[in-house]
Amino acid sequence: MKFSTIKFELNGKPVEIEVPPAMRLLDILRETFKLTGTKEGCGIGECGACTVLLNGQAVASCLLLAGQLEGTKITTIEGLVHDERMNLLQRNFLECGAVQCGFCTPGMLLSAYALLQKDARPTTDDIKNAIAGNLCRCTGYKQIIQAIQKSTESLSDPDQ
Amino acid sequence: MKKEFSTIGKHIIREDGWEKVTGQAKYGDDFNFPNQLFGVPVRVPAVHAKINHIDYSEIISDPDLIAVCNCSDIPGSAKIGPIRKDQPIFCSERVVTSGDVLSLLVGPSREKLLQLREHIRIDYEPLPILSDPSKALEDDAVLIHPEFKTNLIVHYPLRKGDIEKGFQQSDEVIEQTYTTQCIEHAYVEPEVVIAIPMGKHKGIKIIGSIQNPYTARRIVASVLNWPLTKVRIIQAELGGSFGGKDDTMNILAARAAMAALKTGRPVKICYDREDSILESYKRHPYVMHYKVGFSRNGKIRAMKIDILADGGGYASMSPFVTWRSVVQATGPYEIDHVWTDVRAVYTNNPYTGAMRGFGSPQPIFANESLMDEIAIRTNKTPDEVRRINALRQNSITASGQKLTSHDVNLVTVLDRAVEETGFSKKWRSNHTASCGPHTLSTGSEGNGDDASKLILKENDFIASSDLFKKGIGLAVSYRGCSLGAEGVDAAAAYLSVQPDGSAYLVSGLAENGQGLRTTFSMIAAEVLGLSVADIYYLEQDTGVIPDSGPTVASRSTLMGGAAVKEAAEIVRKRLEKVLMDHWNTTGAAEFNFSDHHVYATGPPNQRIRFPELCEMAFQKGISLAALGWYAGPRVDWDEETGQGPAYFTYVYGCQVAEVRVNIGTGEVYVDRIVAVHDPGKVLNLLGAHGQVFGGVTQGAGYGLWEQINSLSGQIQELNFDQYLIPTSNDIGEIVPIFIEGRDKYGPWGAKSLGEPTLELTAAAIANAVRNATGRRFFNLPLNLEEIMLGRKLINKTAMRGSHV
Ligand code: FES
Ligand code: FES
């Protein structure tokens, strides 16, 4: 099998890997970097459990191949442990009961995070659309939507 | 005096939450071990076939293949099953479903094994396929398991009163057939298991996404022919289960264990979504004939029910699932004359087993549809006709059980839901305005012979204001708690308070994502006056805590919760004893444990910090560790007549659905669901709300979209591109409301909620769609074709989605 050298930024640090160009980003994260917070639920881009940020956009890491990573910035749930906005979302997810089995949670949080980075005052419909690609079988989404909503309120206007 | 709670019933955050939101929580596939190998299943591209020969010669000497495991490697039981031992760990001579597995390829790279798998040659002869359960009992039906001489898995009769007399007393009779579809659990995490050989004396350790560690242990031990103690099962964080990670996981655990012992190395089996949907069991499709006789005043006189459940290729949980159906098939109504038969049969379809709801969503769809039809015939509203027939305090159920020991809150939940939604008025006005789906003047299925018929006429267009019809519908249910006369019902919990006042807790029931660890920690904290943060919940390990039966039947809060409370009370009594000596009080002293302190409520009016007390007890050599054990009261069942006290207690629920139906396309929009449940005492409010939101959403998916089509036994929907579960955009508002009925069982009277939330939703939606369109639909799901055409369109030839 042919290997390629690929350089990109992972969770804020430059990395260089030697992998087959068709290796999925999901596997690179889980196997090469042992970042197991990114989950696999379908492998075909339908469930969102594998969501990561690619240059700030929420994407399915099961659909991205090593060859597409050169020069990009990839962020996983582990990369945002000290991020204020992510911490707020995490706290609100717990406060609102948005986590049951938790398998969808990292992906869900990253989709929510990407939305709030782009738009600090999204409408409820914006929120629903932002997570429409993240399947959750446990919660029925209500408490997740509520948690994201709550994070926008406390973020958007400190004077309110 | 009403007891004030400090933790119970409060808004408490999940004990395991932080790990889950930071990606640190470890699910099955997040575990890896040095030297680990992978196992990949080998299947035959057939549904029902005789296997002549499997030829591995092309791959057998490949360095990427370390071993092949098959049935010849099994030292113990080659076939397993909860009741009937009909399911092979590895098939050898025959396969009977499309998910059946012949062998396991074991090697260091999963990817390589998948490639090698392509080079196995299997010589097999296809056998005739039985895919229609209604043909399973015909004389010339092909036998799925010839050794049983019939395709009948189980038959439960229930006889109460005199059915013929009941029909004679009736003014009107309705007879109707309803069907429900096969669906998939669709937990977001697919199955994973890892078996680690621990050396000669220590046996094997198994870590995985296992719903019922004790069942898995029993199966693995019987397959290996080992004592139970040598099989230790540790549950990984579970990415959803809903009843689905039971039989499949037990079999995967046994395969991994065999491979690990054969190779002497850890072996991981990790399924992708296609494997998962192909091999895991599903919810039973039902065909249900109901005949009901009633008086002009709406009182039901007689009900005759005949239910056929498609068990698929293996018996699995069919005998338990259909037993719940026979108990509850009439719905929560007092009917003098009942005659019910429930049968489950083998077919070559995917096998069916436990899924949240467990034999209740199907009959509820039928009996609640029927109740609305009775209402319409007797010129009453749906709530009126239910009130006339509802089970009340001291009512007698279909199985002859008198409901005395708990608050029978059926009418209470119904009234609350009706009031909350303004049901009757809305129902009446929609009912008058309703009309069928739009039909074109040309006839909707014009074949183009006459071109002029293809041109739409003026009245073919629907004014946009008429496009959406509103509907409101309700459904009610009662549900027997825990296992009932299905099985042994007892659970354990172990609590060990440390000298500094913190405590370890673990129970024999499993955390499947529902929040059990949090609720159990709350119970222990409440009894001892601690906070949830003081309780350290240990990981589930079959080597540590006694077998507590399966985590099913919404029984964990009721049974495991009671065991936790028992353990905490044992420790509390011992601490009280220490205090009595210390404070020199008499036996009459009362103590209050709260805020990390213990107060003597009478004289001597003293208090002590909880950690100080624990240290004191420790210094005196008093054990602060206790095993709580809770066994359910006696339940009983007569197999011949279907009579007896089936469950020791029940819960009640009512859901109201408000929908809009697009009469041009058949689309149904769920605007609002009000879910009123009496689960007994609510212990964990945040968790309880989560159960309602999640259960209702799953129930709506069942009612509107989800379906596994198995054409001649082949599953058509193998991934989420074809199998559609609700997304964040699909369901409108959900309003949970709790009525807390009293009960002498369970911790502070807490009972069940997980399943009741799901079982009603499809039925409520179906009644709302009837209310909107004026037409009754008899088959789930209520998808576009069902609503527009009243039948299902199934593409019998084309391969779609992941098949292409
Ligand atoms: S695993 Fe990538 S979207 Fe499902
Ligand atoms: S919390 Fe289980 S899938 Fe979302």
Which residues of A fall within a CB distance of 8 Å from B242?
A: 137
* pLDDT over threshold 90, residue B541: no
Answer for the pair B630, B548: CB distance below 8 angstroms, yes or no. Answer: no
Q: With bands split at pLDDT 50, 70 and 90, how would you rate the model's confidence at B448? A: low
The answer for A 132-151 residues in CB contact with B (under 8 A) is: 132-145
Say how many Å lie between the first and final Cα of chain A, rounded: 58
Do residues B362 and B287 lie in contact, with contact meaning Cβ atoms separated by under 8 Å?
Answer: no
Cα B146 to chain centroid distance, Å, stands at 30
Give yes or no: residues A58 and A121 share one domain.
no
pLDDT at A160: 40
Q: Which ligand is nearest to the CA of A139?
A: 2
A123 and chain B: CB distance < 8 Å anywhere? no
Beta strands across the sheet bearing B490-497: B535-537, B503-507, B490-497, B625-631
pLDDT tens digits, residue range B743-765? 999 999 999 999 999 999 999 99
Instruction: Determine the Cα–Cα distance for residues B341 and B642; give it in Å rounded to an integer.
Output: 9
pLDDT digits (tens, 9 = 90+) for B352-410: 999 999 999 999 999 999 999 999 999 999 999 999 999 999 999 999 999 999 999 99
Q: Are residues A11 and A71 in the same domain?
A: yes
* CB-neighbour burial class of residue B112 (10 A; exposed 0-12, middle 13-18, buried 19+): middle
Boundary-marking domain end, from A78, A96, A117: A78
* Residue-level pLDDT at B798: 42
Class of domain B17-24+490-631: alpha beta
- Can you tell me which residue has the tokens 């006694």? B546
- A112 Cβ under 8 Å from any chain B Cβ: no
Confidence of residue B446 (pLDDT cuts 50, 70, 90): very low
Residue ranges per domain, chain B?
A: 17-24+490-631, 31-127+191-270, 286-483+639-803
- The rounded distance, in Å, linking the Cα atoms of B140 and A126 is 58
Q: Within this chain, do residues A59 and A108 fall inside the same structural domain, yes or no? A: no
A44 in a structural domain: yes
What average pLDDT does range B282-308 have in this prediction?
98
pLDDT in tens, B249-273: 999 999 999 999 999 999 999 999 9
Return the CATH fold of B286-483+639-803.
Aldehyde Oxidoreductase; domain 4 (3.30.365)
Q: Please report whether residue A138 resides in a domain.
A: yes
pLDDT of residue B201: 86
Residues A53 and A97 in one domain: no
Query: What pLDDT, in 10s, does the model give residues B567-578?
Result: 999 999 999 999
Pairwise CA distance, residues B209 & B30, whole Å:
11
Contact B697 A141 (CB under 8 A): yes
| pLDDT band at B3; cut points 50, 70, 90 | low
pLDDT at residue A141 tops 80:
yes
pLDDT at position B356 is 97
Nearest residue CA, atom 3 of ligand 2?
Answer: A136
Same CATH topology for B17-24+490-631 and B286-483+639-803: the answer is yes
Does A7 sit in the ligand 2 pocket, CB within 6 Å? no
Closest Cβ–Cβ partner in B27, B242, B696 for A103: B27
Read off the pTM.
0.95
Superfamily of domain B31-127+191-270: Aldehyde oxidase/xanthine dehydrogenase, a/b hammerhead (3.90.1170.50)
Q: Is the CB of A41 under 6 A from ligand 1?
A: yes
Mean pLDDT of B708-721: 92
What pLDDT sits at residue B606?
87
Out of A96, A128, A140, the one facing B734 most closely (by C-beta) is A140
B273:A141 CB<8 A? no
Exposure string of B601-640, with b = 16+ CB inside 10 Å and e = fewer, is eeeeeeebebbebbebbbeeeeebebbbbbebeebebeee
pLDDT band at A89 (very low <50, low <70, confident <90, very high): very high
Residue B436 has pLDDT above 80, yes or no: no
Is residue A158 predicted with pLDDT exceeding 60? no
What's the complex ipTM?
0.97
In the predicted structure, residue B211 carries a pLDDT above the cut 60: yes
At B756 the pLDDT is: 96
**End position of a domain, from candidates A25, A57, A78:** A78
Last residue of a domain, one of A78, A105, A129: A78
Q: Is A62 in the pocket of ligand 1 (CB under 6 A)?
A: yes
Average pLDDT (B2-21) is 86
For residues A72-90, average pLDDT: 97
Q: Span B502-531, mean pLDDT?
A: 94
The fraction of chain B above a pLDDT of 70, given in percent, is: 95
Give percent of chain B with pLDDT exceeding 90: 84
**Ligand whose nearest atom lies closest to the CA of A40:** 1
Whether A77 sits inside 8 A of B719 (CB atoms) is no
- pLDDT tens profile A13-59: 999 999 999 999 999 999 999 999 999 999 999 999 999 999 999 99
Cα B580 from Cα B52, distance rounded (Å): 77
Q: Considering the domain boundaries, does residue A43 fall inside one?
A: yes
Domain CATH code at residue A27? 3.10.20.30
Q: Is it the case that residue A159 has pLDDT exceeding 50?
A: no
The reply to whether A108 and A65 lie within a common domain is no
Any domain includes A160: no
Flag whether A159 is in a domain. no
The total of structural domains in chain A comes to 2
Q: Is the pLDDT of residue B138 over 60?
A: yes
Task: Write down the pLDDT at residue B794.
Answer: 65
Contacts of A132 in chain B (CB under 8 A): 727-729
Query: Which pLDDT value is given to residue B458?
Result: 73
Query: Within chain B, what is the greatest distance between any pair of CA atoms?
Result: 102
Task: Give the torsion sign (CA, B540, B543, B546, B547).
Answer: positive
Instruction: Report whether B405 contacts B436 (CB < 8 A).
Output: no
> What's the CA gap between B389 and B723, in Å, rounded?
38
Statement to judge: residues A98 and A72 lie in one domain: no
Q: Is the CB of A133 under 6 A from ligand 1?
A: no
Q: State in Å: Cα B514 to ligand 1 middle.
A: 23
Please give the residue range of the domain that contains residue A42: 4-78
Domain assignment of residue A83, yes or no? no
- Measured from the alpha carbon of residue B238, the closest ligand is 2
Supply the pLDDT for residue B513: 82
Q: Is B681 exposed, middle or buried (0-12, 13-18, 19+ CB in 10 A)?
A: buried
> Using a CB-CB distance cutoff of 8 angstroms, which residues of chain A are in contact with residue B734?
140, 142
What number is the average pLDDT over the span B462-478? Answer: 92
- The pLDDT-based confidence of B804 (bands split at 50, 70, 90) is very low
What does each C-alpha distance from B43 to B46, B359, B367, B723 come to in angstroms? 8, 30, 40, 22
What pLDDT does B543 receive? 87
- Round the average pLDDT of chain A to a whole number and report it: 95
Q: Nearest CA of chain A to the CA of B200: how many Å?
A: 31
Q: Do B697 and A40 touch (CB under 8 A)?
A: no
Query: Where do we find the tokens 């010339």?
Result: B140
Q: Quick check: B13 and A101 CB within 8 A?
A: no
Query: Which chain A residue shows the shortest CA-CA distance from B19?
Result: A102
Distance (angstroms) between ligand 2 centre and the Cα of A135 equals 8
Tokens representing residue B637 in the block: 């069942």
Q: Would residue A111 count as lying in a domain?
A: yes
